[in-house]
Amino acid sequence: MKKFLFLMYGIIAYFAFFGSILYAIGFVGNLVVPKTIDGEPQVPMLNAILINGSLLLLFALQHSIMARPAFKRWFTRIIPEVIERSTYVLLSSLCLALMMWQWQPMGGMIWSTDNATVKTILMVIYLVGWAIVFLSSFLINHFDLFGLRQVWLYFNGKPYTHLKFKLPFLYKYVRHPLYLGLLIAFWSTPVMTITHLFFAILTTGYVFTGIQFEEKDLVNTFGEKYKSYKKKAPMIIPFTKKKAAS
């Protein structure tokens, strides 16, 4: 019974992620969904800055702190290790959903284009950014990253095995293609409002801060392999270093 419950918990957490990330694509790109990043301001500018900054900070703290090995060791004294990743994914999804729900447009215009061709190009680039995010997750093991592999192995009575260090496709050219995809998506817009710029700047700052913590963990985990990889592959911008060997 416990195996089944853990599997269901992992599936629920995964679909919470999938639903929130699909909504986020519409939210950031001002596409389809009921509430998007831009809109008519409902509160004074200072209030909006404080609210939006707090929402982004909450997501960043949850996302970073719960990903650290020391926190995981403490957390798995409270919950079973097999659902630790699913719990992380679920809470990240809830924080993302909260941010989008409570987000406050601030108005203002930084740039805008009425050229249909330019709009189309920027929208294609935006969607390519998200495609890179998803492709990157599948290259390293999408279902392990989002907790499903852990609960599935447990359900089938198999021990969990850690992923080996490898450099598939995009990872040969850049160490963090998933973050590259996010940055492309966050900055590619035909209409850059103050609201969107605020979001893009803060999330970019978080991405580069998070990379520092993540790479420290990766060095601790993979040692010289990752140190050598860092020397050969650029962090974010492809083709700025010699291509990493597999």
DSSP codes of every residue in 145-208: HTTHHHHHHHHTT----PPPP---GGGGT-S-HHHHHHHHHHH--SEEEHHHHHHHHHHHHHHH
Tell me whether residue 156 is in a domain.
Answer: yes
Tell me whether residue 237 is in a domain.
Answer: no
Distance, CA of 162 to CA of 143 (rounded, Å) = 13
Task: Label residue 30 by pLDDT band (50, 70, 90).
Answer: very high
- Condensed to tens digits (0 to 9), the pLDDT of residues 172-206 reads 999 999 999 999 999 999 999 999 999 999 999 99
Tell me whether residue 97 is in a domain.
Answer: yes
Tell me whether residue 154 is in a domain.
Answer: yes
pLDDT at residue 243, as a whole number: 53
pLDDT at residue 72, as a whole number: 96
The neighbour count for residue 212, using CB atoms within 10 Å, is 9
CB 175 within 8 A of CB 235: yes
Token pair 């709009």 is found at 119
Using CA atoms of 223, 229, 235, 236 in order, give the dihedral in degrees to the nearest 10. Answer: -130
pLDDT at residue 52, as a whole number: 98
Residue 124: Cβ-neighbour burial (10 angstroms; 0-12, 13-18, 19+): exposed
pLDDT at residue 189, as a whole number: 96
Structure tokens, 57 = 């900070």
Q: What is the mean pLDDT of residues 162-173?
A: 95
Tell me whether residue 98 is in a domain.
Answer: yes
CA distances to 47, 103, 108, 226 from 41, in Å: 10, 10, 10, 46
Closest to 181 (Cα-Cα) out of 125, 234, 130, 122: 130
Closest to 188 (Cα-Cα) out of 196, 179, 177, 178: 196
CB 97 within 8 A of CB 59: no
Q: Which domain holds residue 63?
A: 2-232
Tell me whether residue 172 is in a domain.
Answer: yes
Tell me whether residue 238 is in a domain.
Answer: no
Tell me whether residue 245 is in a domain.
Answer: no
pLDDT at residue 11, as a whole number: 98
CB 175 within 8 A of CB 34: no
Amino acid identity, residue 233?
A: A
pLDDT at residue 69, as a whole number: 95
Token pair 């992992």 is found at 10
Model confidence, pTM: 0.95
Structure tokens, 173 = 């050219």
- Condensed to tens digits (0 to 9), the pLDDT of residues 131-156 reads 999 999 999 999 999 999 999 999 99
Q: What is the DSSP string of 82-148?
A: GGHHHHHHHHHHHHHHHHHHH------EEEE---HHHHHHHHHHHHHHHHHHHHHHHHH-HHHHTTH
Give the count of domains, the chain.
1
DSSP 3-state assignment of 52?
helix
